[in-house]
Amino acid sequence: MEAQEILKDTAFVLMYGGVIMLTVVAALYLLLRRSNAIAPEVTSPVRLRRWAATFLVATALSHLFWLFYVYHPSPSVYVLVCGLDLLMLFPTIAGILLSMMQDRHRTVWPFMVLLIPAFILMSLCLIRGDEDLYLPVGIYVFALYALMMLYMFFAVRRYRRWLRDNYADLENKEIWQSLLILAVFLLYFVMYNSTSEGRLFMAYLLQIDSIIIVGLLLWRVETLQQLIESASPEEEPAEDVQKIPAQPAIPANIGPLLKKHCENGQLYLQNDLTLTQLSQVIGTNRYYLSQYFAQQGITYNAYINGLRVTHFIRLYHEAVAEKRIFTAQQLAFESGFHSYSTFSATFKQNMGTTVTAWMRSEAE
């Protein structure tokens, strides 16, 4: 079925136009709205909102470019449209994924450099009029997406470690869902190539995939918390680096200071307590504090939540002794946990059993 035949399907035309309108409205929403509708309590990263909006605008333009190709079909126009799509979509997808990780500023230009061989092949397609080069271009672009997925897999794992080293509460901070978004992007690319011959079924699926991407982006942008701290422990500001010897000796008083201020002072009950905030309270450098936890073989997140679990157990025994009515959720929140799901997972990890099973065994 030729591409022009697809446009004779009224339902598809309506869906195609609807996707264009949806992407434009979603882009304007991300750029102009100052607060979140999905998660009002979350402040989204500005950089992520801008990259997501840019991608949505690029998607709308891509749809318009393909309409132009439908009415002016030729090999040269086809190559130009594919080139414009690649130039707009690949960097904006990379920008979205990279801006989710807020430990440091990651630039998009390395991904732009990787596009150079693809544009060289496309230029040869135009100059020679050789359609046999379409396949190498498609394979190369597919390899780029696979490379991006591999990079993101390791980057997200490292970023998760960074979060656990710097934050006590991880709600609205985890980004493993970015791998799901990347998978949907990859699916989009596969179906994108499958519609080059005008297959109606794949064309419908491509529009459905576009709608899913819009929904995922809006959800991800509005549920990811803007992090104030953006420097990882190994990337200290220049003034801090100058204060730290080449092979720093961790101060011996960090342990007693933590005992005094964090444990005895119950600082761990504070929601969203960060490594930097704790280091300021105990009067040390965040680098030293980070190294101290690494030396102990734990993360900052495990240290704080371990204290919260201990506090929960103490509250439980006090409530039982006083014969007060209580719920596990209530005690978890009083122990500093921001969500019950996080508490349940942490409790099981620390105690080796579920909260319900532990309470049942304690009651026997």
Per the structure, the count of domains in the chain is 2
pLDDT tens-digit readout, 312-329: 999 999 999 998 898 999
Which band of pLDDT confidence, cut at 50, 70 and 90, is reported for residue 185?
confident
Do 279 and 172 lie in one domain? The reply is no
Q: Which of 346, 359, 349, 350 is nearest to 319 (CA)?
A: 359
Do 165 and 305 lie in one domain? The reply is no
Q: Which of 317, 320, 316 is nearest to 329 (CA)?
A: 316
3-state SS, residue 101: coil
Q: What angle do CA 70, 27, 216 make, to 5 degrees?
A: 90
3-state SS, residue 297: coil
Rounded distance between C-alpha atoms, residue 171 and residue 181, angstroms = 19
* Per-residue pLDDT at 12: 87
> What CATH number is given to the structural domain containing 142?
1.20.1070
- 359 inside domain: yes
Do 195 and 275 lie in one domain? The reply is no
- 57 inside domain: yes
Do 190 and 319 lie in one domain? The reply is no
- 280 inside domain: yes
Contact by Cβ (8 Å): 58, 42: no
> What CATH number is given to the structural domain containing 276?
1.10.10.60
Rounded distance between C-alpha atoms, residue 120 and residue 97, angstroms = 26
- 229 inside domain: no
* Per-residue pLDDT at 193: 59
Do 188 and 48 lie in one domain? The reply is yes
Round the CA-based radius of gyration of the chain to a whole number and report it: 26
Do 13 and 158 lie in one domain? The reply is yes
More confident position, 35 or 330: 330
Do 82 and 215 lie in one domain? The reply is yes
The mean pLDDT value of the chain amounts to 86
- 108 inside domain: yes
As a residue count, the chain comes to 364
Residues 89-98 as b/e (b if ≥16 CB within 10 A, e otherwise) read bbbbbbbbbb
- 84 inside domain: yes
Domain boundary among 223, 248, 267: 223
Rounded distance between C-alpha atoms, residue 180 and residue 326, angstroms = 39
Do 315 and 207 lie in one domain? The reply is no
Do 210 and 245 lie in one domain? The reply is no
Q: Residue 139: what are its φ and ψ, rounded to 5°?
A: -65, -40
Rounded distance between C-alpha atoms, residue 81 and residue 69, angstroms = 7
pLDDT tens-digit readout, 39-70: 888 899 999 999 999 999 999 999 999 888 88
Which band of pLDDT confidence, cut at 50, 70 and 90, is reported for residue 238?
very low
* Per-residue pLDDT at 37: 87
Do 129 and 195 lie in one domain? The reply is yes
* Per-residue pLDDT at 192: 62
Rounded distance between C-alpha atoms, residue 181 and residue 32, angstroms = 23
Contact by Cβ (8 Å): 346, 332: no
158-162, 202-206, 267-271, 272-276: lowest mean pLDDT where?
A: 202-206
More confident position, 183 or 31: 31
> Can you give the residue range of the structural domain that contains 307?
240-363
Domain boundary among 194, 223, 252: 223
Domain boundary among 169, 190, 223: 223
Half-sphere exposure of 254 (CA within 13 A, CB side): 20
pLDDT higher than 60, residue 108: yes
Torsion of CA 29, 33, 35, 40, to 10 degrees: -30
- 81 inside domain: yes
Provide CB contacts within 8 A for 283, sequence distance 6+: 257
The residues that bridge with 274 in the sheet, in sequence order, are 167
Do 283 and 349 lie in one domain? The reply is yes
Q: What is the pTM of this model?
A: 0.85
Rounded distance between C-alpha atoms, residue 61 and residue 27, angstroms = 12
Contact by Cβ (8 Å): 145, 279: no
- 234 inside domain: no
156-160, 205-209, 235-239, 276-280: lowest mean pLDDT where?
A: 235-239
Q: Average pLDDT, stretch 177-194?
A: 70
Do 212 and 334 lie in one domain? The reply is no
Rounded distance between C-alpha atoms, residue 218 and residue 117, angstroms = 32
